Amino acid sequence: MILLLFLLAALAYGAASFAYGADTGEPRDGQLPAIRRRARPLLIAGTVAHLLLIGLQCVDGDHPLKNIFLATSFGALVTSFGYLALSRARPLDAIGTIVAPFGLGGLALGVVFSSVNAKTLPTGGAIASAHVGFASAGLAGFTLAAAVAGLYLVTERRLRRKKFRPGTPTMSLTGLDRLHHRLVLLVTPIFTLAIVTGVLWILQAGGPHMLRGRVFEIVAAAIAWGASVALLVTRAAWGSRGRRSAWLTISAFLAVLLIVISYGVRG
Amino acid sequence: MSGELYAIGVDHRSAPVELREQFAVADDDHARILAGLRERAGLSEAMLVSTCNRVEIYGVAGGVFAPERVLPALAELQRADGEAIVDHVFVRAASDAARHIFRVTSSLESLVVGESQILGQVKDAFDRARDSGTVGPVLDRCLSLAFKTAKRVRTETEIARGAANVSSVAVELARSIFGELGGCMALVVGAGEMAEGAAVHLRTGGVAEIAVVNRSAPRGVALADKVGGHYEPWERLAAQLARADIVIASTGAPHPVIDRALLKPVIRSRRGRPLFLVDIAVPRDVDSDVTELPNVYLYNVDDLQEIVHENLRTRRGEADRAGAMVDEEVGSFVQWMRTRAVGPLLGELQAFGRDVVDAELERLVRKLGAVGPEQRAAIEQMGRAIMQKLLHRPMSNLRNAHEHAVIPTAMLAEALAALFELGPRAGDRRAPPEARIPQATPEDATAAAALAPSTAVLAPMSAPIREGTG
C-alpha cells in the first residue's frame, strides 16, 4: 500500500512539476493554457497521496520524529499545503514550479532514503516532537517565503530591464513584497521555538557537550533567525522593503536548508 | 420577402471621417431612423450601428430589394449629402453580410483590432433596434451568434491581449507594480495634452489622488480641475515626489526636470516604496541615470511604444485564428438560414406522408371489417414506418443539399414541391414561397447554370451585390 501511495504521489507531483514548468507561452486574456490549468489539481492529488503515505508510515512506526528524512518529507508536505492555501486566491503559479518538485523531493527522501540508511534521531518525548513539528513548519514557511521573494526579485528585475509584459496574471510587485514579509512574520516565531526546543532536546539527550558537535547547525540556525528578525525589524522600524528584504528572506531559507542537509548527511 | 440578410454602410476603411460624421446617428434618434429605413428601403428587419468608425445598417429584405437605396434613404432621413457617399458604401449580402457582422462584433474590423468597445456598441445598437421593434428572427439569431462568437474570440485567442495605447500600457505597468491603484497617488508633472490623457487614464484606472505640478499655475489648476486632482506649485516638486507612487512627466522643458540629484534624497525618504516614473515628454523629462536608484522604475515613451507595438503585433497575429473561428460560426448561421428556409417544405412533406398513411389505414380498416385495436396499431405503425423510411432520404438530402448535391438546393426544393404537389397547389398550407425556397450558394449557382436554364429567380447566397472599398 505504501508503495502504491508512493507511486501515486510521485506521479502526481512529477506531473504537477511538469505542468507548472511547461513553457506554454503567454496566457490568453487571463486564461491559463490547459496544461497549466491541470497543475493545481495534480499538486492537490500529490499532496493528498503524500499525506496518506505519511499516515501509513506513522502506523508502521516510521513517524516524522524518527529521522531527518521522514521529518523533511513532512516539511515538504506542509509546504505543499501552505502553497495550495496561499495560491487559492492569488496568481502564484510561478511558485508552483518550486513547490511541486520540492514535494517530490521530500516524498522521495521520506520513502527511499529513510528506509536505506537513516540514523534514528534520539528519542526525546514531547520536546523532540515539538522540535520536529516546529522545524518542519519552519522549513515549509521559509521555503514558501523564499519562493515568493525569489519571484519578487525576478519580477523586479524584469520590470527594471523593461522585459516585463504588463497584463501577465501574476501578483504585483508590492503584493509579492507584502506576502513574503507576512510569511516571514508568521514563520519567525515558529522557527524560534524550533531552535529553543532543538537546544533543549540536545541538552536532554546528551548534555551541553553535545552542543559542540552541532556548531554548524547552530550557526546556520542563528543566521536564519538573524536574517528573518533583521527583515522584520528593519521593516517595522524603517519601513525597509524591496530587494534587500527579499534577499534576507532567501538567506534565511538557505541557512535552514543547510541545516536540513547537514542533518541528512551527518545524521 | 426572401429573408436575405444585408450589411450596408460606411466604415473607417471605405469613407473618410468627414463623410462618416454626416451619417452618424445619435442614440436617441435610432427609433426614428429605423422606422424610416423600414418604410423607405423596404427592410423587414433592421438595426443600425453608428460609432465613430462606422455607420452600418444590418437588415433583412426580400423581393425586389435594391440595397443601394439604403444609404441614400439614410441620407434623406439625416438630411445629409447622399450623392457624396455613393462611392464609399459597401453592400454585403447573405453569408458575406453575416461574416461582416460577426467580424465587426468580434472587433476584427476595428481600427485597433481587438478593442473591446465595439462589442458593447453593437449590443447597444441591437437593444435599441429590439426596443424599436425592428428585430426579427434572422437578426435575432445572427446577432446572438455574433455576440457568442465575439466572446469566444476574446477568450480563445489573444486578440484583445495587452493595451493598445501608451497611456493604457502605463496604467497596466502601474498595476504590475502596485496591484490595485486605489491606494496610489499619481503626480502629473506638466500640464500638456499628453499629461492630461495619461492622468485621465490613471483616474479611470482607480488612482485615489492626483497632484499636478506645473510651472504655470493657471494651466496646472485647469488640468487639476479637469482630472479631479489638486494643483501644487513647481517648488513643491520634490515634496510631491516623496509622496507619489506614479509620476507622469510631460513638460515641454528642454532638459530633464527630474534627475538623480533631485531623486536621491526623495528615494531615501520613501523607505523602499517603489516609484514608477513614466516619462512621455520629448525631449525627456527624467534623466535616465535615476534607474540606478533602488526601487525606481522608469519607462519613457519609446519603452511604452515598444510594448504597444508588441501587443498590436500579437493581436494581428491572432486575427487569422479569430477569422477562422468567425468563419466556423458563420457557417453554422448559414446552415440555420438554409434549414429555416427548407423547414416549412419538409414539414409539408411529412404532413403529406401522414395524410396518405391515415387515408390508407382507414381504407384498409373499412375493407377488412372487424380489426382489433392491437392489429390496427400494428398496421398503423407499419404504415408510418414505411412512410418515414421513404421520406427520410429525400428529406435528409434536401436538408444537406448545399454540402454535396450537384443540383442546387432551391431546384431540389422546387422539384420536391412540384412532384408531391406541395404548397398552394395542394391547398394553402405552405408558407410564402420565398420563405420556403432556400437561397443558393455560388457553388449551387454554378451547378444550376450547368443543369438548368431557369435559375434567374435564385440570388447567389454568398455573392455580395457590390463591395465597397472596405
Residue-wise pLDDT for A101-154, tens only, equals 888 888 888 887 766 655 565 555 778 788 888 888 888 899 999 999 999 999
pLDDT band at B114 (very low <50, low <70, confident <90, very high): confident
Higher pLDDT, A215 or A31: A215
Chain A partners of B161 at a C-beta cutoff of 8 Å? 26, 28-29, 167
Q: Which residue of B has its CA nearest to A241?
A: B272
Q: Lowest mean pLDDT: which of A42-56, B41-55, B77-91, B296-310?
A: B77-91
pLDDT of residue B402: 67
pLDDT of residue B166: 82
Q: What is the DSSP letter of B432?
A: P
Residue A209 touches partner B, C-beta closer than 8 Å: no
Per-residue pLDDT for A240 more than 90? no
Which residue among B155, B177, B294 sits closest to A159, beta carbon to beta carbon? B177
**Which positions ≥6 away from B377 have C-beta within 8 Å?**
none
Helix-helix angle A125-160:A68-86, to 10 degrees: 50
Quick one: which of B465, B330, B341 has its CA closest to B401? B341
For the CA atoms of A71, A77, A81, A87, the dihedral, rounded to the nearest 10 degrees, stands at 110
A&B contacts, CB < 8 Å: 76
A 26-55 → B contacts, CB under 8 A: 26, 28-29, 31
pLDDT of residue B469: 29
What is the rounded distance in angstroms from the CA atom of residue B81 to the CA atom of residue B22?
8
Q: Which residue of A has its CA nearest to B176?
A: A172
Chain A partners of B314 at a C-beta cutoff of 8 Å? 26
Which range of A203-217, B90-104, B368-382, B428-442 scores highest in mean pLDDT? It is B90-104
Residue-wise pLDDT for A38-77, tens only, equals 888 999 999 999 988 888 888 777 777 777 788 888 888 9
Residue B295 touches partner A, C-beta closer than 8 Å: yes
Residue A168, C-alpha cell as written in the block: 501577465
Q: What percent of chain A has pLDDT over 90?
A: 22
pLDDT band at B144 (very low <50, low <70, confident <90, very high): very high
What is the rounded distance in angstroms from the CA atom of residue A81 to the CA atom of residue A66?
22
| Overall average pLDDT of the A84-111 stretch | 85
Residue A159 touches partner B, C-beta closer than 8 Å: yes
Q: Lowest mean pLDDT: which of A127-131, A227-231, A263-267, B451-455?
A: B451-455
Residue A122 touches partner B, C-beta closer than 8 Å: no
Residue A162 touches partner B, C-beta closer than 8 Å: yes
Query: Which sequence positions of B are flagged as catalytic?
Result: 52
Type of residue found at B319: A
Q: Which of B167, B177, B325 to mutate to test the interface with A (most CBs of A within 10 A)?
A: B177
Type of residue found at A105: G
What is the rounded distance in angstroms from the CA atom of residue B315 to the CA atom of residue B162?
9
Radius of gyration in angstroms for the set of CA atoms belonging to chain B, rounded to a whole number: 32
Q: Lowest mean pLDDT: which of A164-168, B72-76, B307-311?
A: A164-168
Find the DSSP H helices in B400-463: 401-404, 409-419, 433-436, 442-451
How close, in Å, is residue B106 to chain A by CA atoms? Answer: 14
Which range of A17-21, A98-102, B141-145 scores highest in mean pLDDT? It is B141-145
What is the rounded distance in angstroms from the CA atom of residue A73 to the CA atom of residue A113?
11
| Overall average pLDDT of the A205-217 stretch | 74
Type of residue found at B322: A
Q: Which residue of A has its CA nearest to B166?
A: A166
Which residue among A159, A167, A244 sits closest to B297, beta carbon to beta carbon? A159
| Overall average pLDDT of the A76-90 stretch | 87
Tell me, what's the ipTM? 0.76
Cis, peptide link before residue B283, omega less than 30° from 0: yes
Q: What percent of chain B has pLDDT over 70?
A: 88
What is the rounded distance in angstroms from the CA atom of residue A32 to the CA atom of residue A10?
24
Backbone φ and ψ of A106, nearest 5°:
-60, -45
Q: Which of A151, A152, A164, A176 to mutate to test the interface with B (most CBs of B within 10 A)?
A: A164
Q: Are B435 and B341 spatial neighbours (Cβ–Cβ below 8 Å)?
A: yes
pLDDT of residue B232: 94
pLDDT of residue B231: 94
pLDDT of residue A119: 59
